[in-house]
Amino acid sequence: HHVIDAAEDIEVIAPDGRRAKAKIVGGDPETDLAVLRVSLSELKPIAVGNAEEARVGDPVLAIGNPFGVGQTVTMGIISALGRNQLGINTFENFIQTDAAINPGNSGGPLVDAEGRLLGINTAIYSRTGGSLGIGFAIPVSTVRNVVDQIVATGAVTRGYIGVEPQDITPEMAEAFKLPRREGAIIAGLLRNGPAEKAGVKVGDILLEVDGQTVRNTAGMLNLISQLKPGAQADLKFLREGKEISLKVQVGKRPRPGRGER
């Protein structure tokens, strides 16, 4: 999304050198993904892999146009899976790779040894502006979910419960004698929001969303966002040392303003 955001003209160049103007179907700044429409014949779609089956150490290839020099392929391995809390996007579940990714690689594919799409390259960690062997790709499962929604409706709809979460630090767990360090503390509530209406209180620790464990705030955001607005979600909390369950009517997450993440 950041590649085409605010662009007035977008041109796509096919591998055989053909050029065509592209139109934006829709974008999602919270995952940094966008969908373009282009009128070019005989384009072959990339084979799609399964990022859920990928393992740390698997070989991968990153394809892009670093610094505008032309299509380039670099090789590396999957360094880590499920990276989050990096402050890059609102919703993070990155594949980390040491394949060289530089400015110009964003939006390019990260593929496995068979050429199947595993993710979309989106960012690097660097103090110099160039590759230091720490690059991040959005997993194909996220890509498909976002792209399918944009193609169908032009936008992405996510669940929302109206809470301000906070991670549990070791110091916090010790100070408040918390029995566990996993979960997300509810530090604030939207007045008359879905969570407040359901009886959630500040200080509650969210443990599960529809039976899925909440490990931190990033995990909580990802789980809540996947809920369908209007549906009821079963949330498990820790309150004053006791586990309680509450049913929350899921709301619709507000769309971020321009430039927001």
Residues serving a catalytic function are 2, 32, 106
Which sign, positive or negative, has the C-alpha torsion 151, 154, 158, 164? positive
Residues near 29 by beta carbon (within 8 Å), at least 6 away in sequence: 1, 2, 5, 256, 259, 260, 261
List the one residue out of 210, 202, 219, 192 whose CA is nearest residue 246.
210
Tokens of 168: 């549990």
How far is 255 from 261, CA to CA, in rounded Å? 10
How far is 149 from 126, CA to CA, in rounded Å? 32
Tokens of 109: 């594919």
How far is 1 from 123, CA to CA, in rounded Å? 12
